[in-house]
A and B are shown apart, each in its own frame.
Chain A
């Protein structure tokens, strides 16, 4: 069975601080996808990144960076120089990638980030 664990439930930081959101996953699949989604107060889930299980290269996009380590089954997300607009609930998710599968997402419980001015 697949499982995603986000151990932190809530973090509060002051603007410009760096913050790392942890994500640990479990799966028996050899091919899978990992995702991060952002859910601002408006409620809509916003796609941030997808990572294929064969691609362990870290990725940076502006102030966002992701660290994928298969050895520890982790896919951590770092926001550098946080801003108030980063305040949201962040979800890590896992999907199988089998041919003919539904590729439904298994989500972590989410982590609420509050960035204070």
Chain B
């Protein structure tokens, strides 16, 4: 597509439920990143994909968080047993190759609210 697409744009879930957030990167972009933006912590890196593999998962805050990418394209971020502190905007970004000089394109994010 023309840009990075994320769905849903908003998600309200009950504490303890699992949620899945989806990211459709720009077609052909091999690098994909997930970030989280929360009031207390600002913008934080979660995980990086190169193709379907995730060589850097260092930002995932706990084992309740996982992500996968299939076909070198769509990625899903899953949060199990959601907690209130998981409430944040989850941003996805993609890049043609891992060359920061080319810049990332960010999606508009999924706003997750855990009640």
Quick one: given A50-B100, A103-B98, A104-B56, are A110 and B108 in contact (CB under 8 Å)?
no
Give chain B residues whose Cβ lies under 8 Å from the Cβ of A107.
42-44
Q: Once bound together, how far apart are the Cα atoms of A102 and B35, in whole Å?
A: 13
Our pick among A35, A43, A109 for the contact of B42 (Cβ within 8 Å) is A109
Instruction: Please give me the residue from chain B that is nearest to A109 by CB atom.
Output: B42
Q: For the side of the interface on B, what is the size category?
A: 20 to 34
Q: Once bound together, how far apart are the Cα atoms of A107 and B50, in whole Å?
A: 21
Quick one: given A103-B98, A104-B59, are A44 and B43 in contact (CB under 8 Å)?
no
Quick one: given A43-B108, A45-B91, are A104 and B101 in contact (CB under 8 Å)?
no
Chain B 98-115 interface 0/1 with A at a Cβ cutoff of 8 Å (1 = within):
111101111111000000
Instruction: Please give me the residue from chain B that is nearest to A108 by CB atom.
Output: B42
Does any Cβ of B come within 8 Å of A114's Cβ?
A: no
Quick one: given A33-B100, A43-B109, A45-B91, are A110 and B56 in contact (CB under 8 Å)?
no
Our pick among A43, A50, A109 for the contact of B101 (Cβ within 8 Å) is A50
Q: For the side of the interface on A, what is the size category?
A: 20 to 34
Using CB atoms and an 8 Å cutoff, list the residues of chain A in contact with chain B: 33, 35, 37, 42-47, 50, 52, 91, 93, 95, 97, 101-110
Our pick among A101, A104, A106, A108 for the contact of B33 (Cβ within 8 Å) is A104
Our pick among B45, B55, B109 for the contact of A105 (Cβ within 8 Å) is B45
Chain B 52-86 interface 0/1 with A at a Cβ cutoff of 8 Å (1 = within):
00011001000000000000000000000000000
**What's the least CB distance linking A91 to chain B, in Å?**
7
Q: Are A104 and B106 in contact (CB under 8 A)?
A: no
Q: Are A44 and B109 in contact (CB under 8 A)?
A: yes
24 residue pairs bridging A and B, Cβ less than 8 Å apart: A42-B108, A43-B109, A44-B106, A44-B107, A44-B108, A44-B109, A45-B91, A47-B105, A50-B101, A50-B103, A52-B101, A91-B43, A102-B33, A102-B50, A102-B56, A103-B99, A103-B100, A105-B33, A105-B35, A105-B43, A107-B42, A107-B43, A107-B44, A108-B42
Chain B 26-49 interface 0/1 with A at a Cβ cutoff of 8 Å (1 = within):
000000010100000011110010
Q: Are B89 and A43 in contact (CB under 8 A)?
A: yes
